[in-house]
Structure 1
Amino acid sequence: MAGDEGGGGEGAEEDVPRDAKLVKSILRSMGVKQHEPRVVQQFLDFCYRYVVEVLGDAQLYSEHASKPSIDTEDVKLAIQSRVTFSFSQPPSRETLMELARVRNSMPLPKVISGPGIALPPEQDSLIAPNYQLVVPMKQADEMEVDDKDGNKPPLPTDKNGMSSPASQQGLEQDGSKKVSFSLAGKRPRS
């Protein structure tokens, strides 16, 4: 950690901008004896950004009030709105204690399962392995069964009257059917 001198002796102290000297004096007054060299630059960046935002808000308030220029009332209003919305104060200790008392008065729910992390049921689990099997269908000759008269049942037809057994839902080009299932059996939800 570097000290707050800047490390360059008397000549280096004179080259430091006035704003940086003010930040260093504020740090000294707050009891900071040592800090990183970049701390002063970070405070300066924060201060410049804050001033630009406040003046921008003050200009908006001035334009809204149809004033020709920004006055102190616009700046005060901009600072007040920034403090109210940007730098919120934490609740008081008494308020936090009251909230904690109310929350802690409610009993915890009973633990149904044993110790450890409770996992969701298997049907709701996304990590359960799923399998897809290709079930081969019987050959077309074996699948067609003769009726009592010895006639073969007609093949299903589409809307044009053309028979298209390969277009049946669930059948693949090679005559096989895909079946998807989870390895773990599905249990009804309780």
Structure 2
Amino acid sequence: MSGTVEEEEPRDAKLVKSILELMGVQKYEPRVVNQFMDLWYRYVVDVLGDAQLYSEHAGKQSIDCDDVKLAIQSRVNFSFTQPPSRETLLELAKVRNSIPLPKIIGGPGVALPLEQDSLIAPTYQLDIPTKSFPFTEDEMDMDDEDWSKPDLDKETSGSQPTNLQKSEQDGRKVSFSIGAKRPRS
């Protein structure tokens, strides 16, 4: 049964397998052959397309061997470039390494922004009333239930502002950051 599978393989697949064996590749997945064939077909189509363009540019009716050679040569020059020689690389490295590095101004490590410029520093705002307490002594004598909920409706119904309203108007806000360093004096 294995003999029939090999006989049914296309000629190109057999050729790819023989190239792999000649290169010393003993084990490979079956998909490798298909991938090489895809690469091979794509390359041939691209080269023949370039050869057709060169043939049309020369005013010929058909593609000849010179057009294919020119297409292969242009594709090799375009796709596969040779790295520079060792001497050229050494010369370039010598020129580049002769330029001194800039001096490091700060200390080692990454320079972090100041704390006041940081967006992750926790901040708090407190309202500090100018008066010591908004309630009078009479309101403080209420029983526990009434003390937690002062009757503000009676006080706010008049035209005069109450102690609580005055303290809200006269209050000042204090903003500070937790963990901020105090200036030394």
Q: TM-score range by the shorter chain?
A: 0.5 to 0.7
Relative to structure 1, the CA distance from residue 120 to residue 50 in structure 2 (aligned partners, 3 Å threshold; closer, same or farther) is farther
CA drift of 1:108 comes to 1.2
TM-score normalized with structure 2 length: 0.58
Percent identical: 75
Distance in 2, Cα, partners of 1:125 & 1:101 = 43
User: Which ranges in structure 1 are unaligned for 5 or more consecutive residues?
Assistant: 1-7, 129-190
Q: Within 1, Cα distance between the matches of 2:62 and 2:6?
A: 38
Bigger radius of gyration, 1 or 2? 2
Query: In structure 1, how many angstroms separate the alpha carbons of the residues matched to 2:89 and 2:119?
Result: 40
Q: Who is 2:58 aligned against?
A: 65
Give the structure with the larger helix fraction: 2
Partner of 1:17: 10
In the alignment, structure 1 residue 41 sits paired with structure 2 residue 31: no
State the partner residue of 1:91.
84
Please tell me the root mean square deviation across aligned C-alpha atoms, in Å: 2.9
Q: Which amino acid aligns with 1:33?
A: Q
TM score, norm. by length of structure 1: 0.57
2:69 to 63, 76, 95: 76
Query: Partners of 1:111 and 1:80 in 2: how far apart?
Result: 50
Which structure carries more relative contact order (alpha carbon 8 Å, separation 6+)?
2
Supply the distance in 2 between the matched residues of 1:115 and 1:16 (Cα, whole angstroms): 65
Unpaired segments ≥5 residues, structure 2:
122-185
1:104 paired residue number: 97
Q: Shift of residue 12 of structure 1? A: 1.8
Distance 1:71 1:21 in 2: 28
Q: Choose the corresponding residue for 2:48, options 38, 55, 60.
A: 55
Q: How many angstroms apart in 2 are the aligned matches of 1:32 and 1:16? A: 19
Letter in 1 for 2:63: I
Residue 31 of structure 1 aligns with which residue?
A: 24
Distance 1:99 1:12, change over 3 A: same
